[in-house]
Amino acid sequence: MRSEIEERRKNLEEMTKRLRERMTRVKHKIVVMSGKGGVGKSTFTANLALAFSNKGYRTGILDADIHGPSIPKILGVRGRSMRAGPNGALPVNGPKEIKIVSMDFLLTSDETPVIWRGPLKDAVIRQFLSEIDWGELDLLLVDLPPGTGDEPLSVMQQIPGIDGVLLITVPSEVSQLVVRRAVGFVEKMGVPILGIVENMSGFVCPKCGEVTAVFGSGGGKKISDELGLPFLGSIPLDPRISEDSDEGRPFILERSGTPAANAFARLVEVIEEKLKEKG
């Protein structure tokens, strides 16, 4: 019994060591989070990764949404699987060479739900970080499920040297309250917040280009000011984002030059500045 416990402790220590080694080869780590569900975190993460790759960053995405992984669908790599390599399993290569790791690659059927409690989710996230051969990366983006549950806790406890969290909100009043909760959570975890991004901010008519504030406007900026956090920018609501994501077409590559694609490119610059400030 004693030796079994000893063995487990040793395994965990080795895993943690491997995790740290792997993560030191990743220059920047950014976590995408929100208080509320459905505000567009995954869509945002996928397109931000594309925008960074466009600028020559070697980019990876850890899809840490264990119950509802959606990055592979958005980037059109569903049904692929992670192959074994000499230094651990290899992430799936997505568009623009984005390295993707997701629970979706481990599920054999669309109908199978993942029914796991916290410790199991914690263990799988640890394995995603320690047993996957991420290689050298300039940026790892982590997509989280909504709220402040098990996955955000595991991610923030396990990933060393997170540069910061991007908080995604929508311009409606309801989500402002939950943003506060998310901010409180991140602060408790001792992880820096890079700033707030407003998604679905204004509808861009694909025909005439006119912008309509469907959910009101300025909510993201207002909450940022109230909480004393940087407001990094906004992404407009564009039905083509949703269409492309459903079809697995990488939006900003397909629709370069649209206001939403330009907004992603601008955000990359703002985030680069933030990373530079941090040194």
Ligand X SMILES: Nc1ncnc2c1ncn2[C@@H]1O[C@H](COP(=O)(O)OP(=O)(O)OP(=O)(O)O)[C@@H](O)[C@H]1O
Q: Which residue, among 24, 211, 209, 59, has the nearest Cα to 143 in the 3D structure?
A: 59
CA–CA separation, 253 and 18 (whole Å): 35
Q: Which positions lie near ligand X, rule CB under 6 A?
A: 34, 37-43, 65, 68, 70, 145-146, 199-200, 235, 237-239, 241-242, 245
CA–CA separation, 251 and 245 (whole Å): 7
Angle at 129 between CA 128 and CA 130, to 5 degrees: 100
Instruction: Assign 192 to helix, strand or coil.
Output: coil
Instruction: Assign 137 to helix, strand or coil.
Output: strand
| 154 interacts with, out of ligand X, Mg ion, none, CB within 5 to 8 A per kind | none
Angle at 175 between CA 140 and CA 173, to 5 degrees: 140
Residue 178: CB minimum distance to ligand X, A:
11
Q: Is the CB of 42 or the CB of 234 nearer to Mg ion?
A: 42
Residue 27: CB minimum distance to ligand X, A:
25
| 40 interacts with, out of ligand X, Mg ion, none, CB within 5 to 8 A per kind | ligand X
Q: Is the CB of 130 or the CB of 245 nearer to ligand X?
A: 245
Q: Is the CB of 129 or the CB of 170 nearer to ligand X?
A: 170
CA–CA separation, 252 and 276 (whole Å): 25
23, 30, 42, 182: residue in contact with Mg ion (rule CB under 5 A): 42
Q: Is the CB of 42 or the CB of 154 nearer to Mg ion?
A: 42
Could you tell me where the DSSP H helices lie in 173-258? 173-188, 219-227, 239-247, 251-254
- Of 35-43, 76-84, 148-156, 157-165, the window that binds Mg ion (rule: CB under 5 A) is 35-43
CA–CA separation, 64 and 279 (whole Å): 26
| 183 interacts with, out of Mg ion, ligand X, none, CB within 5 to 8 A per kind | none
Number of residues lying near Mg ion (CB under 5 A):
2
| 160 interacts with, out of Mg ion, ligand X, none, CB within 5 to 8 A per kind | none
Residue 50: CB minimum distance to ligand X, A:
14
- Of 10-18, 39-47, 97-105, 175-183, the window that binds Mg ion (rule: CB under 5 A) is 39-47
CA–CA separation, 71 and 43 (whole Å): 8
Of residues 51 through 110, those in contact with Mg ion by CB under 5 A are none
